[in-house]
Structure 1
Amino acid sequence: MATEAETGGFAIHPMDQFIVKPLFGDGPVQWYTVTNVTLWLALTVLAIAALLVLGTSRRAIVPSRSQSVAELLYGFVYNMVEEVTGHDGVKYFPYVMTLFLFILFANLLGLLPMSFTTTSHVAVTVTLALLVFVGVTVLGFIKNGVGFLGMFWVTSAPLALRPVLAVIEVISYFVRPVSHSIRLAGNLMAGHAVIKVFAGFASMAILSPVAIGAVTAIYGLELLVAVVQAYVFTILTCVYLRDAVGGAHH
């Protein structure tokens, strides 16, 4: 049976850009296979290293552009961690900084033509979210012992409602990695799919001017989304971290 493309019809496949493919050969993808995801994850790490290591290797009183960007990002994340988690949370700044830069650069690199958006895959975002969830939980028990469970007991509520609220709090706590990861992957996947759809319409002469204008506008919006989603993921990490270093919050 002939497909729509084979018969000359108009076909757009916006989800094809998210397919994981081997870099070498056409065999099945195994856990050890080097794929397009592997490539763009490595490029993300290299881009961060280039900015923070090479860009600041010649530190000067009058900073270069790369040094200015590095210092701006450093100050922005440091202030975020200090304001949200307090003084006790500042010691975990390196991890939060690494998380923010990784997500930010992965999002931005995914907007390059012919690139692969690694943070559009739940496998990547769930891993990041689980690292935060497990890390915060373990840290909470190390810092507060059994007292960490006090965050689930709402002492400001009437005694009769506290058990019900405790169940809701526990469920909410374990849903954190789900919402934390799906929000990031979902926003990026949706935006890239929309861009691909309008880019497909751009190939039609009658719709080309409108489609090109729409792609340009959506691309600008996606730049904003890439930055905002990195910020949202990071500030939520800081909020969760505050529960661990600050103990019970009710």
Structure 2
Amino acid sequence: MAGAPADGGFNIHPMDQFVVKGLFSGEAPSGLADMFMITNQTLWLAISVLCIVALLVWGSRGRAMVPSRLQSVGELMYGFIHKMVEDVAGKDAIRFFPYVMTLFTFILFANLVALIPTSFSVTSHIAVTGVLAMMVFLTVTILGFILNGAGFLKLFWPSDAPAALKPVLAVIELISYFVRPVSHSIRLGANLMAGHAVLKVFAGFAGALGLGAVFPIAAIVAVYGLEVLVAVIQAYVFTILTCVYLKDALHPGH
């Protein structure tokens, strides 16, 4: 937020935009009593879901041979993710395509609607990205043991390494495996938070400088364009990493 200069400086608070507040009370939730409070985060989560429904359900309701614009976008997304799952995780991973498609569309739309002025970035919060990452981690781990039994542990045992290094590498592989949900979630959340914070800083300078805000406004335009790209890339990165982890569950010995 930007205001008048205070104590000779700019009064800019770029992190205020990430505060979760009650939609009607304006107060931050605290304790179990506010567990079911409808917040700004709840609102923009719902808007993201409605955008997905509008594109993939309402936009393709006609299933026309000559698709409309919305149907074309939906079909392009469908084909893109279907090919990604098949190329990265193999043909036997196609049965998990609905799960991967759901992840991609949710993250993509949550990232994009967060670029609307006065909106709220739900994917900048570890409460959201952490849940998504843990869902992937638990799904892959459980699936790996169900499909392969104890053979899933081959994932942690480098069979081609020298015998003396195998125990050390096994420990490293085990640690890196359990760090996956942390890196998976922080990569998404941190990139979104950093970009929105930079936008808020430049917006604060533009508001404070008034008519002399040519440079901050130009910077906002440039950073905004970059953030659109980041929103798409981060959805892609999260999804392709999910496919890589899924491949480990299906083919742990490879």
Partner of residue 98 from structure 2, selected from 94, 99, 104: 94
Q: CA deviation at 1:190?
A: 0.2
Query: 1:122–1:185: 8 Å Cα contact kept in structure 2?
Result: yes
Cα separation, partners in 2 of 1:21 and 1:113, compared to 1, 3 Å: same
Q: Does 1:43 align with 2:47?
A: yes
Cα separation, partners in 2 of 1:54 and 1:224, compared to 1, 3 Å: same
What corresponds to 1:104 in structure 2?
A: 108
Moved over 2 A (4+): 3-10
Q: Does 1:158 align with 2:162?
A: yes
Q: Provide the C-alpha distance between the structure 2 equivalents of 1:36 and 1:201, rounded to a whole number of angstroms.
A: 25
Cα separation, partners in 2 of 1:219 and 1:27, compared to 1, 3 Å: closer
Q: Provide the C-alpha distance between the structure 2 equivalents of 1:39 and 1:239, rounded to a whole number of angstroms.
A: 32
One-letter amino acid of the structure 2 residue matched with residue 189 of structure 1 = M
Q: Which moved more, 1:26-35 or 1:87-96?
A: 26-35
Q: Which moved more, 1:89-98 or 1:202-211?
A: 202-211
Root-mean-square deviation (Å): 1.6
Q: Does 1:128 align with 2:132?
A: yes
Aligned runs of 1:58-69 on 2, under 5 Å?
A: 58-69=62-73
What corresponds to 1:23 in structure 2?
A: 23
Query: 1:201–1:207: 8 Å Cα contact kept in structure 2?
Result: no
Gaps of 5+ in 1: none
What corresponds to 1:211 in structure 2?
A: 216
Q: Provide the C-alpha distance between the structure 1 equivalents of 2:240 and 2:28, rounded to a whole number of angstroms.
A: 38
CA shift digits 1:94-121 (9 cap, x unpaired)? 0000000000000000000110010000
CA shift digits 1:153-199 (9 cap, x unpaired)? 00000011000000000000000000000000000000000001011
Q: Provide the C-alpha distance between the structure 1 equivalents of 2:247 and 2:22, rounded to a whole number of angstroms.
A: 41
One-letter amino acid of the structure 1 residue matched with residue 19 of structure 2 = I
What corresponds to 2:79 in structure 1?
A: 75
Q: Provide the C-alpha distance between the structure 1 equivalents of 2:192 and 2:216, rounded to a whole number of angstroms.
A: 20
How many residues align? The count is: 247
What corresponds to 2:183 in structure 1?
A: 179
What corresponds to 1:196 in structure 2?
A: 200
Q: Provide the C-alpha distance between the structure 1 equivalents of 2:183 and 2:212, rounded to a whole number of angstroms.
A: 37
One-letter amino acid of the structure 2 residue matched with residue 187 of structure 1 = N
Partner of residue 224 from structure 1, selected from 222, 229, 248: 229
TM-score with structure 1 setting the length: 0.95
Q: CA deviation at 1:207?
A: 4.3
